[in-house]
Structure 1
Amino acid sequence: MQGSSASSLSAQQLFLLSIILSLLKFGFTQDGFCSAPSSIIKPESNSQPLYWKVTNPTLSPSHLQDLPGFTRSVYKRDHALITPESHVFSPLPDWTNTLGAYLISPAAGAHFVMYLAKMQENSRSRLPPRDVERFIFVVQGTVTLTNVSGVSHKLIVDSYAYLPSNLEHSVKCDASATLVVFERRHAYLENYIPDQIVSSTDKQPVLETPGEVFELRKLLPASMPFDFNIHIMDFQPGEFLNVKEVHYNQHGLLLLEGQGIYRLGDSWYPVQGGDAIWMAPFVPQWYGALGKTRTRYLLYKDVNRNPL
């Protein structure tokens, strides 16, 4: 009887051990990252609007929120991390009822600007300087874009517009809205004139990314008239960039949702929705997604021009 009991107990132990081993095997990828299976990866809670972290960020861990002088923001020669507790909003020049926070500008070493525009009730944009092109992306609320021909488009969250330089237009808001805005002086090429673009992220196809696992969408045409593009990049938890990038292009990035680790130069930064990053040419860069929900970020990249 004792031998029979010991044999039965051993069988139970082996059964439990096999379950544990199968779960461990299920939870790790070949590259060593712990990754949740796709069947249990869920998007941000349906009770929250899309990109809510950009306008309602978690500033810092609770035990640090009351620490005087605390910020995760960093500025260095070849990169910057600008986190929401560091944002300084002030009236946008010439805009009506709109506050802006410049996150990236030539003062940091960039050749473009990236800013948040918080439009209030009965607000309206103004034109950028001459020969400056503009890209707007809606992260909260609804706005109406009208061009010089009187054609209007209603832009909701995840919608965007590219406005060529010197194109007369206005953006109006009746209630409130938050925009991410990129502007740069257009690098003209003879016989290449970009057109106005109005669209939304979900209308753009997921592109092939050989050797990578993230999903990539390009919001502007990959053609010569355009001297920059805006990418939307999606990572599931545990996914990461395979290439440790070093290149001549500049980047401006806004983390729309999710969290992870961004390598910039020799530093490794925990990042989350609402964080912005500037990357100078040739700074080493890499990203790995963590947490329980997907990462999505919006990325500026200069393209189609000889760096000389």
Structure 2
Amino acid sequence: MSYFTPPGGLPAQTELLTDRAIVTEAYTVIPKGVLRDIVTSNLPGFRAARSWILARPVAGFATTFSQLIVEIAPGGGADRPEQEEGVEGVVFVTSGALTLELEGLPHVLGAGGYAYLAAGATWSLANEGDAPVSFHWIRKAYEPAPDIAAPASFVTRDQDVAPREMPDTDGAWATTRFVDPDDLGHDMHVNIVTFQPGGSIPFAETHVMEHGLFVLEGKGVYRLNGDWVEVEAGDFMWLRAFCPQACYAGGPGPFRYLLYKDVNRQVRLTGHSRIEGVEP
């Protein structure tokens, strides 16, 4: 398995400014070339760590989740990474070895390591190795549903979960599902989608789910709200609900991305909005 990890640094003064970053009302593309040292954030409670915040709830952008790439230097970590009650999360490691202590039990997650961290779980992170560790951290306020039990935390690996081929695709399009899509306890899915060269989404998906997509490997062309956008390993895309979307894998190898979506809940018509700048 291959997973892109931002190297940081800064461009040379001789490089051109031109890049592929774009923000629209329907989608945003944050290309790998802008994940530089100058745009990192430090996180309260973390030691020897930095992060690239790819998405957060804000007017005109993400509404249901936040997504960060976190890099922890050797000896660093966090005793209480999640400081908000009621927030669930997924950690997916792209490089290095991350020690996750979950409910008192240690787990060492290498590249491809995946952990679902239920709201209210007790967990901590540490880099006990001699090289930096990098991982995605996707967070969402858990929305309970009547008479449905909340899911439990678990740890697994990309390498240990068999991708499921999409119907009538001969394996050109497959999804690695880390939770059962019929388990209504889960109100978000974080999966890995894989296209073989030439594979495609052959129709314009237009649906209620919001997406965060980080390209782990390969390259492709995405159709986003009428625009064709080239993307490659290291690029991040945010897609608002109902943004038309389709893609082709460009080859020569697989095109893979980490996909977030909100699922399995009734549309809420009452209550206050959590989106900054948006009146309820």
- TM-score, length of structure 1 as denominator length: 0.78
Moved more, 279-288 or 172-181: 172-181
How do residues 202-241 of structure 1 correspond to structure 2 at under 5 angstroms? 202-212=159-169, 213-222=172-181, 223-241=183-201
SS at match of 1:307: coil
Aligned residue pairs: how many? 254
Q: CA deviation at 1:147?
A: 1.9
| Residue 131, structure 1, aligned to residue 80, structure 2 | no
Q: Deviations over 1:104-142 (max 9, x none)?
A: 111223210011001112111322411111100000100
Gaps of 5+ in 1: 1-48
> How many Å separate the matches in 2 of 1:269 and 1:56?
23
SS at match of 2:186: coil
| Residue 112, structure 1, aligned to residue 65, structure 2 | yes
**Equivalent residue for 1:185?**
141
| Residue 103, structure 1, aligned to residue 103, structure 2 | no
**Equivalent residue for 1:78?**
26
SS at match of 2:203: coil
Q: Which of 239, 242, 254 in structure 1 is aligned with 2:202? A: 242
Indicate conservation of the 8 Å contact 2:32/2:233, yes or no: no
What percentage of aligned pairs have identical amino acids? Answer: 27
Q: Deviations over 1:119-172 (max 9, x none)?
A: 112111322411111100000100111123x11111010011010111110011
> How many Å separate the matches in 1 of 2:224 and 2:57?
19
SS at match of 1:271: strand
Q: Counterpart of 2:101 in structure 1: which amino acid?
A: T
Indicate conservation of the 8 Å contact 2:62/2:238, yes or no: no
Gaps of 5+ in 2: 269-280
> How many Å separate the matches in 1 of 2:138 and 2:193?
17
Q: Deviations over 1:45-92 (max 9, x none)?
A: xxxx821x33359x99x9xx811x322111111210011222321212
How do residues 157-306 of structure 1 correspond to structure 2 at under 5 angstroms? 157-174=111-128, 175=130, 176-190=132-146, 191-212=148-169, 213-222=172-181, 223-306=183-266
> How many Å separate the matches in 2 of 1:75 and 1:202?
34
Mark the CA change 1:89 to 1:188 in structure 2 (over 3 Å): closer, same or farther.
same
**Cα RMSD, aligned residues only:** 2.1
Q: Counterpart of 1:81 in structure 2: which amino acid?
A: V
Q: Counterpart of 1:127 in structure 2: which amino acid?
A: E
> How many Å separate the matches in 2 of 1:99 and 1:220?
29
Indicate conservation of the 8 Å contact 2:64/2:262, yes or no: no
> How many Å separate the matches in 2 of 1:228 and 1:135?
10
Q: CA deviation at 1:295?
A: 0.7
> How many Å separate the matches in 2 of 1:180 and 1:147?
17
Runs of 4+ in structure 1 deviating by more than 3 angstroms, as ranges, are none
Q: CA deviation at 1:202?
A: 2.1
Q: Counterpart of 1:70 in structure 2: which amino acid?
A: T
Larger fraction in strand: 2
Q: Which of 41, 58, 73 in structure 2 is aligned with 1:90? A: 41
Q: CA deviation at 1:260?
A: 1.2
Indicate conservation of the 8 Å contact 2:165/2:173, yes or no: no
**Equivalent residue for 2:2?**
50
> How many Å separate the matches in 2 of 1:85 and 1:242?
29
Q: Deviations over 1:274-301 (max 9, x none)?
A: 0000010000111101131111111011
**Equivalent residue for 1:66?**
15
Larger radius of gyration: 1
Indicate conservation of the 8 Å contact 1:145/1:155, yes or no: yes
> How many Å separate the matches in 2 of 1:127 and 1:209?
35
Indicate conservation of the 8 Å contact 1:162/1:197, yes or no: yes
Q: Counterpart of 2:73 in structure 1: which amino acid?
A: Q
> How many Å separate the matches in 1 of 2:188 and 2:167?
22
Indicate conservation of the 8 Å contact 2:48/2:75, yes or no: yes
